[in-house]
Amino acid sequence: MLMVITFFLSMILAFASFFMGKKARLFSIASAWLMAILVGIYIYMTFGGGYHGGIVSQYNFQIAPSIGISFTTGVTGFTGALIALSAVIILVSLMVVEKDSENSIYGLILSTEVGLFGLLISRNFLFFYIFWEVVLIPMYFLIIRFGGAKRDRVGLKFFVYTHIGSVFILLAFFTLYNYYYLSTGEFTLDMGTLMNTAFITGHIPVFWRDFMLFGFLIGFLVKLPSFPVHSWLPDTYQTAPYPGTIILAGGLSLMGGYGLFGILLPASGIFSSTLLYFLAFLGILSLVYFSFVAMFQKDIKRMMAFASAAAMGFVTISFAVGILEHSYTQVLELSGGMFQIIAHGFIMALIFASLYYIRRNTGSEMTYGLGGIYREAPLLSSFMLAGLFASLGLPGLAGFIGEFSIVVGVYQGITWWIFFIILGMIVTASYHVWVAQRALYGPYNEHLGHIRDINRKEFATLCGLLVLIFVLGVFPNLLDGLLTAYVGGLI
């Protein structure tokens, strides 16, 4: 019940923060802290005593049960971790709002939190879809009100692109809804009932099954994003204000990952092996392609956008190959994929937050515009460096755990294709190190003049994130236990 209360509270607080005037900043940060603490308490209370898979905190608010509409909530180990991630992301993104921004930005950021919480706790497709779209609207306004150059066009492109992806999800669950009615005479939009291998393979004709899968996959892969449907990504990341970029990297990828592992995984039996090989291929292609593209970016923000997309390539690979093979490594790689989503959210938050401070203090976010800023701002550079290392998968930090489990796991399934994954990892490592070397170290760019280091409050923000990343890297079992139990409950 605590989670549901937290969710409704977040709704009220987000709405209220639009009317706070000058106190909006203080109010919204306080609200985000409150949310984060409540979520923390909830997770400790629910999963602290051990979790053995399945859905907990199920509540049912009936609205129109005769036609299958009720606000049903439920949390799994995986969604619990994602809820915690989104609470942290929102908090960080509020910290990096520019001081003189218009007050409505705080309300918009809190509104995305409402959408994220809502879609993660909903176990009813209608409400899942509503909150899925609710995330997009504040994001759109964030971009067009507070974005950088070309924000009008980019905002529109972002919205239309992701909106088209979303409406396919709508078609997909309509198909399930309709066939459930035809086979049982009852209406339901309950995820657990509909996303059921036995029901889908038994009662839905092949064509409609493919139609449904196509709809879901388009919707989720756009958000992730994966290779052929990614073209909204670089411009949007670059143009969005930093708080928006953090939500894009953490929150929207989270939505795509939740779609794959939270919604499609329970019905893993419906995937044909051809489709899974194709998905794995897409994942590998994303990883390699985005890594190479990232290598040639001059703007660090844009480069990290591609790095984020490349990291999501791992998620697709682990999802596809994890379902494909039925061996002892299955749990390892599936939980590795989920770990990757969460670790990636924290890491990108750290990178973009540090990058924001670098940008604010030096006025530049280009690799060539910076140079040797360690001399002037050692603390800030160190945090940026830590973020970059975490992102390239340095052992001991969170990024390593996911990638390692995935690479170890998928070797069984795709054998020599692993070469391409390794290639992607090498390229990733090379441009990360190159950025660190060029922008943070090396000779100081004297044009920058004297630059300020971060103050105590900013240090606390970044340090908190780094501690999280470090703890997850050293004690992965804190999170992995939940994910393994979740996967174990499904297989």
Site residues for another protein per CB under 8 A: 63-64, 66-67, 69, 126, 129-130, 133-134, 137, 140-141, 144-145, 152, 155-156, 159-160, 163-164, 167-168, 170-171, 174-175, 177-178, 181, 208, 211
Min dist. Cβ of residue 131 to another protein (A) = 8
- CB nearer another protein, residue 171 or residue 463: 171
- CB nearer another protein, residue 126 or residue 373: 126
- CB nearer another protein, residue 19 or residue 44: 19
Min dist. Cβ of residue 222 to another protein (A) = 12
- CB nearer another protein, residue 171 or residue 408: 171
Residues 6+ positions from 118 with CB-CB distance below 8 Å:
7, 127, 130, 131, 134
Min dist. Cβ of residue 133 to another protein (A) = 4
Q: Which residues of 410-442 are buried (b: 16+ CB within 10 A; e: fewer)?
A: bbbbbeebbebbeebbebbbebbeebbebbbee
Min dist. Cβ of residue 425 to another protein (A) = 36
The amino acid at residue 394 is L
Min dist. Cβ of residue 47 to another protein (A) = 30
Identify any residues that bridge with 72 across adjacent strands, giving them in sequence order: 60
- CB nearer another protein, residue 4 or residue 167: 167
In angstroms, the CA 107 to CA 328 distance is 47
- CB nearer another protein, residue 188 or residue 286: 188
* CA 154 to each of CA 82, 137, 139, 236: distance values in angstroms, whole numbers, following the listed order: 27, 14, 12, 6
Min dist. Cβ of residue 187 to another protein (A) = 9
- CB nearer another protein, residue 128 or residue 290: 128
Separation of CA 216 from chain center: 17
Task: Please confirm whether the linkage preceding 378 is cis (ω < 30° from 0).
Answer: no
* CA 147 to each of CA 17, 235, 237, 294, 364: distance values in angstroms, whole numbers, following the listed order: 21, 11, 10, 22, 16
Contact 372, 362 (CB under 8 A): no
Q: On the CB side of 386, how many CA atoms lie within 13 Å of its CA?
A: 25
60: helix, coil or strand? strand
- CB nearer another protein, residue 155 or residue 402: 155
Min dist. Cβ of residue 134 to another protein (A) = 6
Q: Classify the phi-psi angles of 53: left when phi > 0, otherwise alpha if psi is within -120 to 50, otherwise beta.
A: left
In angstroms, the CA 39 to CA 81 distance is 10
Among residues 472, 304, 452, 317, the alpha carbon closest in space to that of 391 is found at: 304
Among residues 42, 93, 84, the alpha carbon closest in space to that of 338 is found at: 84
- CB nearer another protein, residue 217 or residue 407: 217
Min dist. Cβ of residue 67 to another protein (A) = 5
Min dist. Cβ of residue 121 to another protein (A) = 16
